[in-house]
């Protein structure tokens, strides 16, 4: 009568505990329900430990239930409610829900067809269409991304890779000539034990550089190389200055030079240490051209000069199958040769790697940021004001592209031990709270960056991603969904959106996430249950950032 029957599917003991504390009764899901007589005694706990095929997470979840229900009262109530339809359902996968269990007024923690922004391929496609929907440029917050399974995208990626190589060559040539712009960034090792800001020269001394192999620094490169790069960039600038939204302007860059030869020479400079010599006139041309291109290309600075891209299976999660690469032909070959069923279904996406990113103590990190959508018509979005950082287990280097240095996912990093050359100030569990990050930013003289740059940038990126995909989402009134967005931070403290997860993990991997994951689940229940009867009730760390 009070509509307080719930169902939980998946590893969510916090949700179960919180709802029981509110006086709700659980209707056990068919696959996980237990008979009334299975009380949690020492004998039943022994059965749980020895049951064939029972995973560790499932065992821990069952044992927690035993500890919280020593007399079987909750089991008894669940038995009495076994034929009732649940009023509230929290599950890890929408597809596991039996539609016959849904009432007209049931509250469910998922929407249908959110793959339009929660898969890598879906987000890539949706944000490509953003300029048609909103007055927003995805290149301002989302690294360039292409679906290799479609011909148009594949050709666009090949052209982008070539153009990026040409721009990168100009940057390398200027660097070789000693023209290094002074930029500020953090210092992982300073005398006083705290980070501080210093010129770009520090960055060059703390990142490993390419090893000389077949080419020596003074080995001759064909003299037209810099001229060809200048010509390509000039022609590209001409296209950008006349480009309209439909991007149908044909590019003159496809046939203006011998690209195979150019790329092989570029690889020698970028990855094998071959040298370049600039004339005074060429140096001035490079400087002027890059300065003008920076006004047209929002990602010119963050894209760096080594042309690193990251290849991802389009429908996978938790870092599966992701690899960083620098050579065009190798990326295309890998994408075409992979026979894994999940990759064939999801197809590959390739995305520009953020080369000029902020590191902490010389280590890459990313940010997991939660938000909740409680309605799609009108679109209603709530931003969680607490989040956490995930560190890699080895120092950052663009010349060592192994996963331990570049993929911050907990599911990836748990397989690696901390490197001996890792700065000892990197947390052992590789997790920081946003409050710890704010303290660090204050130490390095950027105390206002969190509230003035990072948070507004993350909010804008999330809203643009949702707007780009909303026409493809199938929504149901009364439902809601908690998402986890992943960001990296550029040297200039700008956040770059990488992906959005529809089922962010609530399994804690550290003391920080144990507290934060419990808090966000508690506050989500307040948001979606309590506000129905009391719109002014406390909702914890949630903040309404958008309602149409």
pLDDT digits (tens, 9 = 90+) for 472-508: 999 888 899 999 999 999 999 999 999 999 999 998 8
Q: Are 292 and 235 in contact (CB under 8 A)?
A: no
Selection from 66-75, 177-186, 292-301 with the highest mean pLDDT: 292-301
Task: Look at domain 115-142+356-547 and name its CATH class.
Answer: alpha beta
In Å, how far from its chain's centre is CA 414? 17
**pLDDT on residue 257:** 85
**pLDDT on residue 330:** 93
Dist CA 284 CA 279 (whole Å): 9
The domain ranges of the chain are 1-29+69-108, 115-142+356-547, 144-176+218-353
Residue 342 has pLDDT above 80, yes or no: no
pLDDT, mean over the chain: 83
Q: From the CA atom positions of the chain, what is the Rg in Å?
A: 26
- Record the tokens describing residue 72, joined without a space: 């079987």
- Point out the least confidently predicted range of 201-205, 284-288, 353-357: 201-205
Dist CA 442 CA 448 (whole Å): 8
Angle at 25 between CA 21 and CA 31, to 5 degrees: 120
Averaged over 504-516, what is the pLDDT? Answer: 93
Residues 6+ apart with CB under 8 A from 197: 184, 185, 186, 187, 444, 445, 446
Residue 423 has pLDDT above 90, yes or no: yes
**pLDDT on residue 251:** 63
Residue 209 has pLDDT above 50, yes or no: no
**pLDDT on residue 314:** 58
**pLDDT on residue 274:** 87
pLDDT digits (tens, 9 = 90+) for 117-145: 999 999 999 999 999 999 999 999 999 99
**pLDDT on residue 5:** 96
Dist CA 406 CA 394 (whole Å): 9
- Point out the least confidently predicted range of 76-85, 138-147, 427-436: 76-85
Q: What backbone phi and psi angles, to 5 degrees, belong to 524?
A: -65, -40
Residue 440 has pLDDT above 90, yes or no: yes
Selection from 54-68, 69-83, 481-495, 502-516 with the highest mean pLDDT: 481-495
| pLDDT band at 455; cut points 50, 70, 90 | very high
**pLDDT on residue 215:** 43
DSSP-assigned letters across all residues of 170-184: HHHHHHHTT------
Residues 6+ apart with CB under 8 A from 337: none
Residue 206 has pLDDT above 70, yes or no: no
> Residue 480: in which H helix or E strand, if any?
none
Residue 325 has pLDDT above 50, yes or no: yes
Q: Are 363 and 529 in contact (CB under 8 A)?
A: no
Pick the closest to residue 349 from 507, 177, 124, 27 (CA basis): 124
Residue 345 has pLDDT above 50, yes or no: no
10, 37, 99 from 47: Cα distances, Å: 20, 14, 32
Pick the closest to residue 254 from 227, 232, 224 (CA basis): 232
**pLDDT on residue 414:** 84
> Residue 409: in which H helix or E strand, if any?
none
User: What pTM was computed for the model?
Assistant: 0.85
Residue 347 has pLDDT above 90, yes or no: no
Residue 92 has pLDDT above 70, yes or no: yes
pLDDT digits (tens, 9 = 90+) for 236-261: 998 888 765 455 555 656 667 899 99
How do 25-26 and 5-9 pair as beta strands? parallel
Strand partners, 144: none
Higher-scoring residue by pLDDT: 68, 81: 81
10, 17, 198, 517 from 94: Cα distances, Å: 11, 21, 49, 21
**pLDDT on residue 471:** 93
């Amino acid at each position: 009568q009070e509509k307080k029957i719930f169902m939980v599917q998946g590893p969510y003991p916090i949700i179960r505990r919180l709802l029981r504390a509110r006086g709700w009764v659980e209707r056990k899901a068919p696959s996980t329900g237990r008979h009334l007589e299975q009380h949690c005694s020492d004998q039943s706990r022994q059965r749980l430990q020895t049951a064939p095929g029972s995973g560790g997470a499932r065992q821990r979840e069952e044992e927690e239930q035993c500890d919280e229900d020593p007399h079987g009262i909750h089991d008894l109530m669940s038995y009495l409610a076994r034929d009732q339809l649940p009023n509230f359902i929290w599950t890890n996968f929408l597809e596991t829900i039996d539609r016959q269990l849904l009432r007209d007024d049931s509250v469910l923690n998922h929407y249908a067809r959110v793959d339009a922004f929660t898969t890598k391929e879906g987000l890539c496609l949706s944000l490509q269409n953003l300029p048609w929907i909103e007055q927003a440029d995805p290149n301002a917050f989302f690294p360039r991304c292409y679906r290799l399974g479609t011909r148009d995208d594949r050709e666009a990626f090949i052209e982008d890779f070539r153009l990026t190589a040409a721009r990168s060559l100009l940057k390398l040539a200027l660097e070789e000539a000693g023209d290094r712009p002074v930029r500020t960034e953090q210092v992982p090792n300073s005398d006083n034990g705290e980070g501080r800001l210093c010129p770009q020269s520090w960055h060059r001394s703390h990142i490993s550089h390419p090893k000389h192999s077949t080419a020596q620094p003074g080995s001759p490169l064909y003299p037209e190389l810099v001229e060809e790069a200048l010509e390509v960039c000039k022609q590209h600038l001409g296209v950008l200055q006349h480009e309209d939204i439909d991007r149908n302007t044909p590019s003159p860059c496809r046939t203006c030079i011998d690209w195979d030869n150019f790329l092989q020479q570029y690889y020698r400079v970028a990855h094998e240490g071959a040298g370049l010599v600039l004339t005074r006139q060429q140096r001035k041309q490079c400087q002027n051209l890059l300065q003008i291109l920076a006004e047209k290309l929002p990602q010119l600075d963050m894209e760096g000069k080594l042309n690193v891209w990251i290849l991802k299976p389009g429908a996978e999660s938790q870092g599966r199958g992701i690899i960083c690469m620098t050579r065009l032909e190798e990326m295309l070959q890998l994408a075409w040769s992979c026979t894994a069923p999940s990759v064939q279904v999801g197809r590959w996406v390739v995305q520009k790697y953020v080369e000029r990113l902020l590191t902490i103590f010389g280590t890459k990190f990313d940010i997991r940021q939660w938000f909740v959508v409680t309605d799609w018509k009108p679109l209603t979005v709530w931003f969680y004001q607490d989040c956490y950082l995930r560190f890699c287990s080895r120092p950052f280097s663009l010349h060592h592209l192994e996963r331990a240095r570049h993929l911050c996912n907990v599911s990836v990093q748990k397989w690696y031990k901390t490197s001996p050359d890792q700065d000892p100030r990197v947390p052992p569990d590789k997790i920081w709270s946003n409050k710890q990050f704010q303290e660090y930013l204050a130490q390095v003289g950027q105390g206002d960056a969190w509230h003035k740059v990072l948070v507004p940038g993350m909010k804008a990126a999330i809203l643009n991603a949702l707007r780009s995909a909303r026409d493809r989402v199938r929504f149901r009134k009364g439902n809601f969904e908690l998402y986890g967005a992943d960001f990296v931070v550029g040297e200039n403290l700008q956040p770059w959106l990488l992906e959005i997860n529809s089922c962010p993990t609530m399994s804690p991997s550290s003391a920080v996430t144990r507290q934060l994951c419990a808090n966000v689940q508690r506050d989500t229940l307040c948001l979606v249950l309590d506000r129905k009867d009391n719109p002014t009730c406390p909702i914890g760390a949630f903040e309404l950032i958008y309602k149409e």
